[in-house]
Chain A
Amino acid sequence: RKEVEQDPGPFNVPEGATVAFNCTYSNSASQSFFWYRQDCRKEPKLLMSVYSSGNEDGRFTAQLNRASQYISLLIRDSKLSDSATYLCVVNRAGGYNKLIFGAGTRLAVHP
């Protein structure tokens, strides 16, 4: 089983749609969770951290369910510029901060 699993997509949605991505992780001791965004042939960029109580940043909402070891990202009112690959990232607890990256979910927003 992979340490971080994501649906690879692609998710093809029209502008203005709401889309949700899910991610599961295997290490119950993980403490830090993130969503990164990666544009085609570019480096990953931090989108948002994910907190236990859930958090929102504009059109983006992240949720964490520790009991189910599940993370989600909700994007409301999708824009063309949201088209990218979204990486679910979890730290491997213990020792240095090793981040485990999911393979990513690709989102394509069309007019």
Chain B
Amino acid sequence: SQTIHQWPATLVQPVGSPLSLECTVEGTSNPNLYWYRQAAGRGLQLLFYSVGIGQISSEVPQNLSASRPQDRQFILSSKKLLLSDSGFYLCAWEGKDRTDTQYFGPGTRLTVL
């Protein structure tokens, strides 16, 4: 069966510091991968999606970036965090054979101080 991992689970970072969040998927090949952010009391906002290694599309201009160095690895990064980057970051995967259902990882709760 497929599983999706995210780490770290929680993170507290000062403004201006860098960020690296990692997401890995097991039990499937060539998945579509997504990064979402959920601000407190708000809906999910799509940040990036990837259909393959090195292929990244950005939904919202911001100071975040994403990379997919391996088939089942998706990384979210920032060079300098802003207060507004605080939130719950969720990675999701979707199989190419069933491209209408996404499954989420446990998320990373980021607080920028």
- Chain A residues with CB under 8 Å of chain B are 4, 31-32, 34, 41-46, 49, 87, 91, 96-99, 101-104
Q: Which of A31, A42, A99 has the largest number of chain B CB atoms within 10 A? A: A99
Give residues of chain B (34-62) contacting chain A, Cβ–Cβ below 8 Å.
Answer: 41-44, 46, 49, 51, 57, 59
Alpha-carbon separation in the docked complex, A84 to B53 (Å): 35
Size of interface on B: residues with Cβ below 8 Å to A: 23
Q: Does B32 contact A (CB under 8 A)?
A: yes
Of all chain A residues, the one with the shortest Cβ separation from B98 is: A97
Say whether B101 contacts A43, CB under 8 Å: no
Say whether A44 contacts B90, CB under 8 Å: yes
- Neighbour of B104 across the interface among A31, A32, A43, CB < 8 A: A43
Q: Which residues of B contact A46 (CB under 8 A)?
A: 101-103
List 7 interface pairs A-B (beta carbons < 8 Å), by A numbering: A41-B88, A43-B105, A97-B100, A97-B102, A98-B46, A98-B59, A104-B43
